[in-house]
Chains A and B, each alone.
Chain A
Amino acid sequence: MYDGGKIIAGIIIGLALLTFPIWYTSGRAAPKPEVKLPVKEKECVQPGPYMKKKHMQVLDLWRDSVVRVQQRSYVAFNGKEYDMSLQNTCMSADCHAKKSEFCDRCHNYTGVVPYCWDCHIPPKEKPEEKH
């Protein structure tokens, strides 16, 4: 090989960069986050698997509905009626009261930073319970 030193150095740098996730993880995958599901309520506004994928679309729909057409009541998949509200319905005391034990667990794991909290204030949690 001609200029072998430089070429091998190039290959090593390229390999090091492109395999970054492998050596950064070094065989230890962090476990999938466990979210604390509500104890009292059994059903969400839509079935679980649906919410898992599409909760942000539901929130978007709620937001548009409240802010643009003043429609605040939402009929859930099981016929129950809910007030469309992020803090007061989703995050009410009986449901996902703790942002740090629910929303944040998934969002930190998947690198999602919703900007909603720039304005919306999540329900207060006692500091010692913070995760």
Chain B
Amino acid sequence: MNVILSLIVSSVAVFGLVVIAFVGVWGAHLEWLFGVVIPYLAVITFFVGMIYRVVQWGKCAMPFRIPSTCGQQKTLPWLKRTYVDKLDNPVGTVAVVGRMILEVLCFRSLFRNTRLEFGNGQEIKYKSAKWLWFGSIVFHYTFLIVLLRHLRFFTEPMPFFVPIIEKVDGFFQLYVPTLYQSGLLLGAAATFLLLRRVIDGKMRYISLPADYFPLFLILGLATTGVLMRYVLKADVVSIKELTMGLVSFRPVVPEGISVLFYIHIFLVSVFFAYFPFSKLTHMAGVFLSPTRNVSNNSRIVRHINPWNYPVKVHTYAAYEDEFREKMIDAGLPVEKGAPEPAKPE
């Protein structure tokens, strides 16, 4: 699909979701559907789908080790291995865990991103390209912080870390209610990731609606959330009654919750239900990336392809036993000598 069409399809899809929730609640008063039934269905879809995905991945055989390595492999004792080599070309579990931690928490493979450029004339240069890493880090961590702050709607009393996060996040004490930086940064980072796909010709070429849709969806989430908190305001006490009803399995739908909240929670529901079907599964998939999570011990341990079927073998000894006489007759060398001639009667 070309870029214009992709952008139109995915943004209209998100806008359509907003309209559905708006009409459903404002026009048809389906508060129970949008506030209780759909969120439950979405969460069930999320968990069942993600577990199914992970189990499917687990069923894939890994016939051999395919770590992508950028360091000196463990070898002869006089070839030095620095700690970078040990992390990047891991042999044991500890090194693999270290590598996974760096990958999951610091997005190390993105940090290593390079970009091919022409220097003087035709000279080729690899330049470090950190913008993708930076945008992703900001995006994922602000997302995490927003999500953790949302625990104030889902726990009573709140776990100790929520007020701490709120305090740090609202550090600048701007505006009333206090501006949380993470909410705005999330929107900015998602916008950056979207523009990255649109502005760079190579990125544009490989981007599909499946790439744009989650970004638009998250932008929609952040926009409705920010509108609700800072501009149009919401009856947060009633909202918490609803959300606590959801997590305690005693759903209630209090009066006085604005349509905007139902739009927000509908986008959230679609987001979670969409997870297992989309690239967003990388949340679980990152832990199962074979190029990251296996140790490079191909020369130390024998790995047997689990797909091997039993092969019928015919060893040379058996072959010679079968054809020895014919081989001797033909003058071919044999290992064991001719059988003793049968005793004459």
Fill in one digit per residue for A10-47: 1 if any B CB lies within 8 Å of its CB, else 0: 11001100101110111111101100000000000000
Would you call B339 an interface residue if the criterion is a C-beta within 8 Å of the partner chain's C-beta atoms?
no
Name which of A55-63, A76-84, A123-131 contacts chain B: A55-63
Contact partner of A113 (CB less than 8 A), chosen from B47, B61, B163, B238, is B163
Total inter-chain residue pairs, C-beta < 8 Å: 99
A111-B162 contact in complex given A2-B61, A7-B54, C-beta closer than 8 Å: yes
Q: What distance in Å separates the Cβ of A121 from its nearest Cβ neighbour in chain B?
A: 18
Q: Report whether B248 and A28 are in contact in the complex, using a CB–CB cutoff of 8 Å.
A: yes
Would you call B154 an interface residue if the criterion is a C-beta within 8 Å of the partner chain's C-beta atoms?
yes
CA A26 – CA B249 in complex, angstroms?
9
Q: Report whether B51 and A22 are in contact in the complex, using a CB–CB cutoff of 8 Å.
A: no
Q: Report whether B58 and A25 are in contact in the complex, using a CB–CB cutoff of 8 Å.
A: no
Among A3, A24, A111, A113, which residue has the most Cβ atoms of chain B within 10 A? A111
The interface size of chain A toward B, counting residues with CB under 8 Å, comes to: 37
Q: Which residues of B contact A111 (CB under 8 A)?
A: 152, 158, 162-163, 166
A24-B155 contact in complex given A1-B55, A33-B237, A56-B176, C-beta closer than 8 Å: yes
Q: What distance in Å separates the Cβ of B269 from its nearest Cβ neighbour in chain A?
A: 15
Q: What distance in Å separates the Cβ of A120 from its nearest Cβ neighbour in chain B?
A: 13
Q: Which residues of A contact B248 (CB under 8 A)?
A: 25-29
A109-B240 contact in complex given A2-B58, A59-B176, C-beta closer than 8 Å: yes
CA A103 – CA B188 in complex, angstroms?
34
Main SS class of interface, A: helix
Would you call B244 an interface residue if the criterion is a C-beta within 8 Å of the partner chain's C-beta atoms?
yes
CB nearest neighbor in A for B284: A14
Would you call A110 an interface residue if the criterion is a C-beta within 8 Å of the partner chain's C-beta atoms?
yes
Contact partner of B177 (CB less than 8 A), chosen from A14, A56, A109, is A56
Q: Which residues of B contact A1 (CB under 8 A)?
A: 55, 58-59
Would you call A112 an interface residue if the criterion is a C-beta within 8 Å of the partner chain's C-beta atoms?
yes
CB nearest neighbor in B for A27: B248
Q: Which residues of A contact B130 (CB under 8 A)?
A: none
CA A64 – CA B58 in complex, angstroms?
60
Among A21, A60, A112, which residue has the most Cβ atoms of chain B within 10 A? A21
Would you call B41 an interface residue if the criterion is a C-beta within 8 Å of the partner chain's C-beta atoms?
no
CB nearest neighbor in B for A61: B176
CA A32 – CA B245 in complex, angstroms?
11
Would you call B60 an interface residue if the criterion is a C-beta within 8 Å of the partner chain's C-beta atoms?
yes
A3-B177 contact in complex given A29-B244, A110-B152, C-beta closer than 8 Å: no
CA A60 – CA B233 in complex, angstroms?
14
Q: Report whether B235 and A53 are in contact in the complex, using a CB–CB cutoff of 8 Å.
A: yes
Q: Report whether B156 and A10 are in contact in the complex, using a CB–CB cutoff of 8 Å.
A: no
Please provide the chain B residues from 213 to 256 with a CB less than 8 Å away from any CB of chain A in the complex: 233-238, 240-241, 244-245, 247-250, 254, 256
Q: Which residues of B contact A (CB under 8 A)?
A: 47, 50-51, 54-55, 57-62, 151-159, 162-163, 166-167, 173, 175-178, 233-238, 240-241, 244-245, 247-250, 254, 256, 284, 287-288, 306
Between A and B, 18 residue pairs with Cβ closer than 8 Å are: A2-B62, A3-B58, A11-B55, A15-B47, A27-B248, A27-B250, A29-B244, A29-B248, A32-B254, A33-B237, A49-B235, A106-B237, A109-B156, A110-B153, A110-B237, A111-B158, A111-B162, A111-B166
